[in-house]
Amino acid sequence: MKKFIGFVKKEFFHIIRDRKTLLVLFGIPIAQLLIFGYVVTNEIKDVKIAILDQSKDNVTIEISNKIISSGYFILEKNLNSVKEIENIFKKGDVREVVIFEPDFAKKLEKYGTVKVQIIADASDANTANLIVNYTNGIIRNYMNSKNHNTQLPLQIIPEVRMVYNESMKGVYMFVPGTMAMILILISAMMTSVSIAREKEMGTIEVLLVSPLKPIEIIVGKVVIYVLLSFLDAVVIIALGNLVFGMPIRGSIWLLLAESFLYISMAMSLGIFISIVSKTQQSAMFISLFALMLPTILLSGFIFPIENMPVVLQWLSAIMPPRWFIVIIKNIMLKGTGFAYVWKETLILFAIMTVFIVLSIKKFKIRLE
């Protein structure tokens, strides 16, 4: 019994001294609990909208104020014409446009019924449904408060139209997110074990004494993986289009080029993980934990980023899948060109450059 107790004590002190084990036991569950608690929600918050008020009377102004002051929406822009709608949707900031027809208050008073048009960006079908339902609810509450003071009930009938995903297919949302998750997991995991395997097998010494420069060793290990992953991207795009009916409204060459950049970024991340990891097992573990959950929860794949606390929104900004999903949706669903995705492209390129520089720096340290 004393030996058993002594063994238990030894294991306890061993765990207490091991920071990595403590992180796995306590840090990861706490992080998952906090992320799920904040992110998994069906509510909307701070959604950017635009308003096209062609009447500008007291009723339209009151309804607009009700929508903006609800806490769910932020007015991004007051539009002046219908021609601005398509362009503002393509930019990707605005999720909904509310349109009031001319002589809105006069028609409501004269006929007792008037229509307000709601156009939502349905490239994310679930969020579009929520946004439209919230807007309809605010308008209904406004009319209920007005009808208390009138003998004849007045009605405002919203006319809803979804753009980019008229049939509200869920696959239009899941294909881009799944593509981003699969590519980063496959690309990073395949490369993350490369240098770690050399260390584990004891062949790293051969590379260390070779005349090859660090950048040559890294690139040499990555090239084949990049080509294989790019082939995966082509297969995923083809399956999405042929099997699930995911449209490709923009340039296929731009889509392939952006996919190649995303894969290269994932490879640079995988190489960095491989260099800082001592074993293949630890490299695989870091790849899975560092990539899978953030991709699902913080990239906008399933849960709208606008709903998250500010801290998690900042954290999502450094998640590469977030920007790649924006690029895919813009090219495949909205048919936009490089002019609308240059910012996201630059962010991916910057992340790739950072990981390449860090990998070379770490590898140089090991050479010394």
Please provide the DSSP assignment of 108-122 as one string.
HHHHSEEEEEEEEET
Give the model's pLDDT for residue 7.
40
**27 vs 44, higher pLDDT:** 44
Q: What distance in Å separates the CA atoms of residue 79 and residue 98, rounded to the nearest whole number?
A: 10
Check pLDDT > 70 for residue 8: no
Predicted TM-score (pTM) of the model is 0.73
- Nearest by Cα to 43 from 341, 304, 221, 368: 304
Token output for 259: 């996919």
2-6, 226-230, 299-303: least confident range: 2-6
Give the model's pLDDT for residue 65.
93
Per-residue pLDDT tens over the stretch 272-331: 888 777 777 777 777 777 777 777 778 887 777 877 888 888 888 888 999 999 999 999
pLDDT band, very low/low/confident/very high, at 64 (cuts 50, 70, 90): very high
**271 vs 41, higher pLDDT:** 271
Give the model's pLDDT for residue 73.
93
Per-residue pLDDT tens over the stretch 79-132: 999 889 988 998 888 999 999 999 998 888 888 888 899 999 988 878 888 899
Token output for 343: 């910012």
Task: Enumerate domains of the chain plus CATH numbers.
Answer: 47-163 (3.40.1710.10), 171-367 (no CATH)
3-state secondary structure 136-200: HHHHHHHHHHHHCCCCCCCEEEEEEEEECCCCCCCHHHHHHHHHHHHHHHHHHHHHHCHHHHHHH
For the segment 133-157, the average pLDDT, to the nearest whole number, is: 76
**234 vs 65, higher pLDDT:** 65
Tell me the pLDDT of the chain averaged across its residues.
Answer: 79
Check pLDDT > 80 for residue 40: no
Check pLDDT > 50 for residue 218: yes
Give the model's pLDDT for residue 257.
94
For the segment 36-57, the average pLDDT, to the nearest whole number, is: 78
39-48, 214-223, 255-264, 280-289: least confident range: 214-223
Q: pLDDT exceeding 90 applies to what percent of the chain?
A: 25
